[in-house]
Amino acid sequence: MTLFRRVRVLLIAAAVGISALEVAEKFSIPVSGGIATPAEARIGRPLTPVSVAGVARRTVRRCAVGVYYC
């Protein structure tokens, strides 16, 4: 296959894939897995990276290991 033919096949496959996703969304056909799954973490919960408790826990751990000079 020449480079032009490979690019053409790739573009056709991408167009078919995108149109299939659009049709599935339009007719409410459940797509297995989907492109993005909903997030489970909530900001402010103790184990999330942005929460105060999570930051404090990591800081204490890093100070104990010697990464930071506390």
Q: Does 4 map to a domain?
A: yes
Please indicate whether residue 7 or residue 24 has the higher confidence score (pLDDT).
7
Q: Does 10 map to a domain?
A: yes
Q: Does 2 map to a domain?
A: yes
Residue type, 18: I
Nearby residues of 53 by Cβ (< 8 Å), 6 or more positions away? 46, 47
Q: Does 53 map to a domain?
A: no
Q: Does 8 map to a domain?
A: yes
List % helix, strand, coil for the chain (3-state, nearest 5). Answer: 55, 0, 45
The range of the structural domain enclosing residue 24 comes to 1-32
Please indicate whether residue 27 or residue 32 has the higher confidence score (pLDDT).
27
Alpha-carbon distance 21 to 31, whole Å? 8
Stretch 4-25: mean pLDDT = 84
Alpha-carbon distance 49 to 59, whole Å? 12
Report the domain count for the chain: 1
Q: Does 66 map to a domain?
A: no
Tell me if 48 sits within 8 A of 54, measured CB to CB: yes
Please indicate whether residue 50 or residue 55 has the higher confidence score (pLDDT).
55
Q: Does 15 map to a domain?
A: yes
Q: Does 46 map to a domain?
A: no
